[in-house]
Amino acid sequence: MTPDEFRCHGREAIDWIADYMEQVEQLPVLSRVQPGEIRRRLPDRPPQQGEPFESILRDLNEIIMPGITHWQSPNFFAYFPSNNSGPSILGDLIASGLGVQGMLWATSPACTELETHVLDWLVDGLGLPERFLSTTAGGGVIQDTASSAVLCAILAARERVESREQGAGGELVAYASTQTHSSIEKGLRIAGLGSNSLRSIKVDPQWGMRPDRLAEAMADDIAAGCRPFFVCATVGTTSSLGFDPLRDIGQICRQHDVWLHVDAALAGTAAICPEFRAMHDGLELADSYCFNPHKWMFTNFDCSCFFVADRGPLIRALGIMPEYLKNQATQSGAVIDYRDWQVPLGRRFRALKLWFVLRWFGIAGIQQRVRQHVALAQEFAGWIQSDPRFELAAPAILNLVCFRHRGGDEVNQQILDQVNASGKMFISHTRLHDHLTLRFCIGQTNTERRHVEQAWKQISEAAENY
Amino acid sequence: MTPDEFRCHGREAIDWIADYMEQVEQLPVLSRVQPGEIRRRLPDRPPQQGEPFESILRDLNEIIMPGITHWQSPNFFAYFPSNNSGPSILGDLIASGLGVQGMLWATSPACTELETHVLDWLVDGLGLPERFLSTTAGGGVIQDTASSAVLCAILAARERVESREQGAGGELVAYASTQTHSSIEKGLRIAGLGSNSLRSIKVDPQWGMRPDRLAEAMADDIAAGCRPFFVCATVGTTSSLGFDPLRDIGQICRQHDVWLHVDAALAGTAAICPEFRAMHDGLELADSYCFNPHKWMFTNFDCSCFFVADRGPLIRALGIMPEYLKNQATQSGAVIDYRDWQVPLGRRFRALKLWFVLRWFGIAGIQQRVRQHVALAQEFAGWIQSDPRFELAAPAILNLVCFRHRGGDEVNQQILDQVNASGKMFISHTRLHDHLTLRFCIGQTNTERRHVEQAWKQISEAAENY
């Protein structure tokens, strides 16, 4: 594709996306295809000769689009959002065009330095502890996901405990609440510690970890000769947006010299508004922290910000230096080589899209949208509470409302299926207190009051049958 | 950013990239900034109010661009390439615009089905063994990098050996040649097996693993009570593009029931040309295989294709199913949920850019460019051989030429520094037989004969001083 062809087809692609942005609200949110339906429409073999761009766009429209679930629909209320925005898409586009590979500072200094800088900006913007600044012993790095971030935290924690207690016996054990994300167990399995190394700590009625139970579990393990090495506290659990009490948990971790990782994948973005920062109280006791701009900060997937208070154990756990990557800048010690802060070697210039987002919206622009989402969720929760057929299943603190019809699991399953089948909205579910519970999360960039109103109308109508 | 603003700024971004494509050949390939220079030009704090797109593009040009090393310059001959192309950039752009998250089949069926389909196409296009097709017990998945792919292979291999030999004692040990990629050791460390679990097997004079030494090492380990579980064979090592003999290695692995992973990150793409497929002889004995379209198949980073012959152990190692992700399609067993084939939970619609590349170029278009790169490298190797000042340091088989000036390490270091400082080209180095060796790799999408000629002129002139 010559530069001139690129200009022409690039405009077609931009217009295609702008058209999509205009139309997405009208499309059935949840794809309606059956398993295998997309594949059956694709040719069995790759094309021998190249094809015109128009054919590709035609097949995109005719074959691929029916198989899309529209995460960017303002009527998408399922899971946690994975939102995007114009400036993010264009920042990412320019990163694709530059095509630099930032494994080392030397392989594109701006890729590393902009990343370090923007992550320092976020420490400021979110009011995070200063020990996460790159100007201290710590610093931030962009990972693909919070799952990879927690794996890196586990590896750094293991490195720290093993270097401190060389040759010490005793099984390593980790702690998280019963509500923690599945990536903690997955990370422990990947690290070779196994599912059995994870202790599930009971939660309080608001779905936050009980520090007394954590302290007990740790004391029991120590008495049994195990070595507590890692706690994951969650700021906004996936099921119900429960908040673990960081200060209490942090003090227990300090007492036993245990690494505290804080996973705020979704909720962290809310800290850009000072009024929501109470959830981070005690965060200065954490060794690492993660939140995902690709969830709620208008930055398209993937972009997960991971901060450590001490980069030493992380780099010792993940650093490696073959001859063919040696270079003066690395040897000078004056630069960061992010290769040593992550599992993969290669890395994309992801800081660019985050920089575009922060520049285009400004802190105030992000605050305004986050506040609007939270206000809409609160309004929705109010509607639930004032309807005798429904009940809240968890406190609705930020932008997630967990609720259910009082008629039991079967009724809730039918409401879920009916509203999702309507195509007009998409919500997901969880189980709380062993009851099927509906989850309504507001975080798509363009969700407005009318979308939430329409969704409530759908749910309310579906409930009329019971 | 409204859809109309997106149309307008999107065109500016497209034109920016097209201009970059036209100009990149003239830019100094290796960035000349000093550590900290980019950061010093960025404001200390994030902007409070949003800024116009023009300001962002201006700062991109003035602040960021001087810190870019131009991987997309046709004069980039360093490391291995990380190339891109117009159709790939536009496919990736549309993936950003759609913003779907393909963790489950259900969260966007087309994201999963196109990926499965395109990876099956590549089995066909590259002439890979049929056991890697999704229609068998195996199948393919896109990972971010070959490092993540090998980590997944290690985890699947461990799962397989542990489920077969429940409770068996004996340390798990892995094998790779002395020339293997650093990600093998890193993967073993991440998995908790440690660097000591890796046996480095000697190579033959062509830098391929010696199967006799592998067999000996395995026999010794078994005699010592260890459990061999994993071999990584490399098709095209990073240092010198050495090729491990897959058939011999595969037979040894079969004999001892050891997982064979084949890492063809760079060289795999060449298999699209039937005349280069001899390097894959014996690949049907492998349990997993990986090559990176983001290196040499005109698909921008990240895109690493990972194939397994049996998806069972991979999914057992990485599968996890919390309540909030349960869905009918998964429970029916009729779909693939790629979340269970990788470390992260979330995933981007990366198949789209690969599909755009295969459609736009066609198999013939990719073959033509690969053949041209190989022919140019062969021609360059010929120039080296006919110049008495230089010698080849390894066979020049595909698109990498390892060579050195006969004057010793210091002379080679000076030639390296001088040609890279010229801005007209960028090459990297390695050490072979403990001699500093220059690496010249041809793989950038737009490299033509004139660029290679000019590079040889630079090198030749730099050598005139010695």
The pTM is what?
0.97
Secondary structure E strands in B242-285: 259-263
> Which residues in chain B have their CB less than 8 angstroms from residue A20's CB?
97-98
Nearest to A430 among B89, B151, B323 (CB): B323
End-to-end CA separation in angstroms for chain B: 59
Q: What is the pLDDT of residues B138-152, one digit of tens each?
A: 999 999 999 999 999
Give me the residue from A10, A346, A359 closest to B145, CB to CB.
Answer: A346
Residues 6+ apart with CB under 8 A from A382: none
ipTM rounded to 2 decimals: 0.97
Nearest CA to CA, how far is A184 from chain B (Å)?
11
Instruction: Tell me how far apart the alpha carbons of residues A354 and A356 are, in angstroms, rounded to a whole number.
Output: 5
Q: How far is A98 from chain B (nearest CA, A)?
A: 7
Test A72 with B18 for CB contact under 8 angstroms. no
% of chain A exceeding 70 in pLDDT:
100
Structure tokens at B448: 């033509």
> Are the beta carbons of A144 and A304 closer than 8 angstroms?
yes
Inter-chain touch B3–A21, beta carbons under 8 Å: yes
Residue B168, pLDDT above cutoff 80:
no
Give the model's pLDDT for residue A178.
97
CB contact under 8 A, A20 and B98: yes
Residue B164 binned pLDDT confidence (cut-offs 50, 70, 90) = confident
HEC assignment per residue over A391-419: EECCCCCCCEEEEEECCCHHHHHHHHHHH
Angle between helices B311-318 and A182-190 (to 10 degrees): 120
Query: Mind telling me how many Å the CA of B183 is from chain A's nearest CA?
Result: 7
Q: Do the chains contact at B88 and A65, CB–CB below 8 Å?
A: no
For residue B437, what is the nearest residue in chain A, using CA coordinates? A324
The pLDDT-based confidence of A358 (bands split at 50, 70, 90) is very high
Average pLDDT on A27-46 reads: 97
Asked if A345 and B147 come within 8 Å (Cβ–Cβ), the reply is yes
pLDDT digits (tens, 9 = 90+) for A72-120: 999 999 999 999 999 999 999 999 999 999 999 999 999 999 999 999 9
> Closest-CA residue in chain A for B69?
A108
Contacts of A325 in chain B (CB under 8 A): 182
pLDDT at A411 over 80: yes
Query: Averaged over A148-158, what is the pLDDT?
Result: 98
> For the segment B409-458, what is each residue's pLDDT rounded down to a tens digit?
999 999 999 999 999 999 999 999 999 999 999 999 999 999 999 999 99
For residue B66, what is the nearest residue in chain A, using CA coordinates?
A: A110
Per-residue pLDDT, B323 = 82
Structural domains of chain A, with CATH: 3-73 (1.20.1340.10), 100-348 (3.40.640.10), 362-463 (3.90.1150.10)
Which of B107, B181, B272 should one mutate to test binding to chain A, selecting the residue with the greatest count of A CBs within 10 A?
B107
> What long-range pairs does B193-200 form, CB within 8 A, spacing at least 24?
B193/A192, B193/B154, B193/B158, B197/B171, B197/B172, B197/B173, B198/B173, B198/B174, B199/B173, B199/B174, B199/B175, B200/B176
Report the pLDDT averaged over residues B259-281.
Answer: 98
B275 CA: distance to closest CA in chain A (Å): 17
The whole-number pLDDT of residue A321 equals 83
What 3-state DSSP class applies to A7? helix
Chain A residues with CB inside 8 Å of B189's CB? Answer: 317
